[in-house]
Amino acid sequence: MSNHYESSETVAVRDAIEKILSFAKVLEPQSVPMQEAMGRVLAQDIVSDRDIAPFANSAMDGFALKAADIEQASPKNPAQLKVLGIIGAGSVFEGTVQSGEALRIMTGAMMPAGADTVVMIEKVEVTGVSAEKPEGTQVILTAGAKLGLNVRDKGEEALAGDLLLKAGTVVNAAGIGLLAATGNPHVEVIRRPRVAILSSGDELVGPSEVPGPGQIRNSNCYSLAAAVKAAGGEPNILGIVRDNNNEILQAIQQAVAHHDMVLISGGAAGGDYDFTYQVLSELGTVHFCKVNMRPGKAQTLGIVNNTIVFGLAGNPSAAMVGFEVLLRPALRQMQGFTSIKRPVTKARLTTDAYKPDSRRFYLRARVERDKASGEYLVTPEKNQSSALLSALQNANCLVVLQEGLDGKAKSEMVCCIRLDIDEGVEI
């Protein structure tokens, strides 16, 4: 088995991503309550079922009147109008505003027939005041108003039949409001990928167990599940499998039947107890088992019944970087997102960045804007061991050192893949 691993070609990161994406098909739509559409890709057009707003209404608390009545109004020559009554949002005034008349009106209330303009309450004086019973009072205006002032048109947002949200749109909070406004309590969105997560290793015990001699706690299942969730997937932790061909084979076979993607960490290299390659070639097709990256050289892409089964490195940090670089784009694509690349910040290195071999190196690092100069500075974590989770917990980016032996010296500019900013965000 190790011969397979030894003799396999090492694929470039770019080719590995492309290969995985070629199997990451957009999933089918599902109907969800509108609140669950937040941040997801719409699978249907949303057409307005009515004019929004359905009627012309007041944008202010004030008086609805005819602009022509107050055209000549000035402090020396104020206009005085008779107040017919008062209406609030949700009520309809049955009468018609005639010349010389005004109606006390609240924001959102339907414009009364005959009125064409609203003058805000702060700009008028009222005589014979009675807030509760405005009928019979007079409103005094000392200035004219532009025709239509403070009146929101019927259909300002949309006319009945207008396309408000196109299929493919990523719904944000305002979009949820539009779904409500158009009477769509349920909506079709692309469903989330169900991702099975397995860890293989004879040394592994659960997080609530006390490890015996030679044992460690299984952390990969949990960090990967969190990363899957952050990518919009639905993780399903299937737990630990032993370093045993049959056990791994059965676990993967079952997982493939019920999931859209299967992740298994550990056992991905060519050691005597590494079975991922062997099992995946028995169950399906292996497309590669080595990627020219660090951390995470040993990573296996298998396709079993059209499902991506991915063997991640066992080292905790390598498993996470492998997921981020190779699988997160695929999970995004499966959800219908067209933005599948994280934003990149160019930043100046605060230290030398040594390159231990010719693989593409993803350094766990922190990028921050320097307050004094305004420029971005990036500091790689001191210990880049692929076993260390704390380096990734502290990091907010991956500094990319391209293939080849050249590292980067302090003060050189590098590209930082932002782990703290979602795909599609302009920075």
**DSSP 3-state of 346:** strand
Interface with Mg ion: number of residues (CB under 5 A): 4
Q: For ligand AMP, which is the closer residue by CB, 191 or 297?
A: 297
Q: For ligand AMP, which is the closer residue by CB, 109 or 327?
A: 327
Q: For ligand AMP, which is the closer residue by CB, 242 or 418?
A: 242
* Contact window for Mg ion (CB under 5 A) among 136-144, 148-156, 231-239, 312-320: 312-320
Shortest Cβ distance from residue 24 to ligand AMP (Å)? 24
Distance CA 307, CA 257 (A): 9
Q: For ligand AMP, which is the closer residue by CB, 150 or 276?
A: 276
Amino acid at 140: I
Q: For Mg ion, which is the closer residue by CB, 295 or 314?
A: 314
Shortest Cβ distance from residue 231 to Mg ion (Å)? 25
> 3: which residues sit within 8 A by CB, 6+ positions away?
none
**DSSP 3-state of 321:** helix
Which entry of Mg ion, ligand AMP, none binds 220, CB below 5 to 8 A by partner kind? ligand AMP
Distance CA 2, CA 213 (A): 27
- What SS3 string covers 229-270? HHCCCEEEEEEEECCCHHHHHHHHHHHHHHCCEEEEECCCCC
**Interface residue with Mg ion, options 112, 134, 193, 266 (CB under 5 A):** 266
Q: For Mg ion, which is the closer residue by CB, 201 or 296?
A: 201
Shortest Cβ distance from residue 274 to Mg ion (Å)? 6
**Interface residue with Mg ion, options 85, 112, 175, 201 (CB under 5 A):** 201
Interacting residues toward ligand AMP by CB under 6 A:
199, 201, 203-204, 216, 218-220, 265-269, 271, 313-316
Tally Cβ neighbours within 10 Å of residue 302: 26
The residue written with tokens 């414009």 in the block is: 111
* Contact window for Mg ion (CB under 5 A) among 195-203, 296-304, 320-328, 402-410: 195-203
Distance CA 170, CA 101 (A): 48
CA distances from 391 to 224, 317, 343 (A): 16, 8, 20
Q: Which residue is nearest to ligand AMP (CB)?
A: 314
Q: How far is CA 391 from the centre of its chain?
A: 25
Shortest Cβ distance from residue 243 to ligand AMP (Å)? 8
Q: For ligand AMP, which is the closer residue by CB, 140 or 216?
A: 216
Closest CA to 149 of 53, 75, 71: 71
Shortest Cβ distance from residue 329 to ligand AMP (Å)? 23
First to last CA, the chain: 46
The residue written with tokens 């971005």 in the block is: 376
* Contact window for Mg ion (CB under 5 A) among 11-19, 108-116, 308-316, 340-348: 308-316
In the window 157-186, what residues touch Mg ion (CB under 5 A)? none
Q: Under the criterion CB under 5 A, does residue 311 sit at the interface with Mg ion?
A: no
Q: Under the criterion CB under 5 A, does residue 112 sit at the interface with Mg ion?
A: no
Closest CA to 182 of 92, 54, 89: 54
Distance CA 344, CA 202 (A): 39
Q: For ligand AMP, which is the closer residue by CB, 190 or 320?
A: 320
> Which residues of this chain interact with Mg ion, rule CB under 5 A?
201, 266-267, 314
